[in-house]
Amino acid sequence: MSLADKVLAVNDDLPIRTDKPVHSGKVRSVYWLTGADSRRLIEEKGYPVPPDTPLAVMVISDRISAFDCIWSGEGGMRGVPGKGAALNAISNHWFQLFRDNGLADSHILDIPHPLVWIVQKARPVMIEAIARQYITGSMWRAYAKGEREFCGIELPDGLQKDQKLPELLITPSTKGILKGIPGVPEADDVNITRKDLENNYAAFNFRSPDDVDRYEKLLKEGFEVISAALENIDQIFVDTKFEFGYVTGTDGEAKLIYMDEVGTPDSSRIWDGAEYRNGKVVENSKEGFRQALLSYFPDPDILLDKERMDERQALARDNQLPESMLMNLSATYVGIAEKITGRKLEISDNPKAELVDILRRGYGLVD
């Protein structure tokens, strides 16, 4: 069995029964179940949702995306062994911790396989909710050039690279292209202020101004819960991206929930605590892979300059990275997942066959 066989690279071709197109993102694919299958599973499995709730099977892949491109390696490796299982295991752990702490639910109803979630339909809030505890990355680059205001928040002079910020900073940006919002450019991923959210809450898909407060509260509380848990294993939660949405509860009322993934090495920066105290940043997240890519190519500006996206895509398409680069990333993902969950991560030898079998026998979703 080769390393390439252990990677689930393509996840939009599974024989899951659906009457809608499969939606495939950079990493996950979503299969919307038929109305009949959704109703049947809700009844059979006792999911705590109204009987007419649309359900989907969400399958994570082992593909690796960085700088808005998908990368592959030598020997036919089209992803990173263990990556998908690690991301799901970490998210599952944090979602459970959020519930244990009375924060909010997620969209996940069931976990049939380490690479699979069964989720209920959620209406996403159209913001990338970003929280930062340290000044690093793009924020540091802007700060070093003299910028002091971020998303309407003023930072003091004299901060050093990778320093802990005076308080947790919330710097939201748009999710998708939003039109007709005064002062907000019609582009994906542009920074917005708290005032923008308050004045245009409906345009961002919030149901009420109070829910802007609630999202901020859930963001801060979620960050604190993860940060405290990581501190226990001597890891530092540097920054992260949360996503929120609405689902309908069994009482028929809409409720704000966490969605997508949380606190993973893909959506967050995580630093080793002991190394940081010694004045060195060691990444336990995808940031380490980004840095390796910048070092690997002779013209790293291609990866940083959005105006050079065509060149960047050609770079990703035409270059097979050394196997060692992908295996180093695999060790990072698997290692941090095992630290966080306290359990060994099981990596399937043939993930596609395994999950199809489970969805056929246990869920009746494969003909």
Query: What would the DSSP string read from start to end of 238-300?
Result: EEEEEEEEEEE-TTS-EEEEEES--S-TTTEEEEEHHHHHTT---BSSTHHHHHHHHHHSS-T
Give the count of domains, the chain: 2
Structural element, H or E, at residue 216:
helix 209-232
82 plus 48 within the same structural domain: yes
Q: Of the residues 245, 277, 309, which one is the last residue of a structural domain?
A: 277
Give the chain's length: 367
Q: Do 217 and 269 share a domain, yes or no? A: yes
Show pLDDT as tens, one digit a residue, over the chain (367 residues): 566 778 999 999 999 999 999 999 989 999 999 999 999 999 999 999 999 999 999 999 999 999 999 999 998 899 999 999 999 999 999 999 999 999 999 999 999 999 999 999 999 999 999 999 999 988 999 999 999 988 888 999 999 999 999 999 999 999 988 888 888 888 888 899 999 999 999 999 999 999 999 999 999 999 999 999 999 999 999 999 999 999 998 888 999 999 999 999 999 999 999 999 999 999 999 999 999 999 999 999 999 998 999 999 999 999 999 999 999 999 999 999 999 999 999 888 889 999 999 999 999 999 8
* Cα four-point dihedral sign 270, 322, 345, 23: positive
Residue 301's closest CA among 286, 292, 311? 311
Same domain as 140, residue 130: yes
With respect to residue 254, please indicate whether it lies within any of the assigned structural domains.
yes
Give the pLDDT confidence of 104-132 residue by residue, as tens digits. Answer: 999 999 999 999 999 999 999 999 999 99
Q: Are both 145 and 235 inside the same structural domain?
A: yes
Provide the pLDDT for residue 250: 87
| Full residue range of the structural domain in which residue 78 is found | 3-122+342-361
pLDDT in the model for residue 1: 54
Are 142 and 187 found together in one domain? Answer: yes
Q: Helices 83-100 and 323-341 meet at what angle, rounded to 10?
A: 20
Q: Determine the pLDDT at residue 44.
A: 97
CB atoms within 10 A of CB 28: 21
Burial 264-287 (b: 16+ CB within 10 A, else e): bbbbbbbbbeeebeeeebebbbbb
Helix (H, G, I), strand (E, B) or coil at 62: coil
Tokens of 183: 């002062």
* Residues 155 and 254 both lie in one domain: yes
Q: CA 78, CA 5: separation in Å to the nearest integer?
A: 10
User: Could you tell me which of 31, 175, 56, 57 has the C-alpha nearest to residue 121?
Assistant: 56
Rounded CA gap, 329 and 352, in Å?
A: 21
| 299 found inside a domain | no
pLDDT recorded at residue 2:
67
Q: Same domain, yes or no, for 106 and 179?
A: no
Give, in degrees to the nearest 5, the angle at Cα 153 between 101 and 276.
60
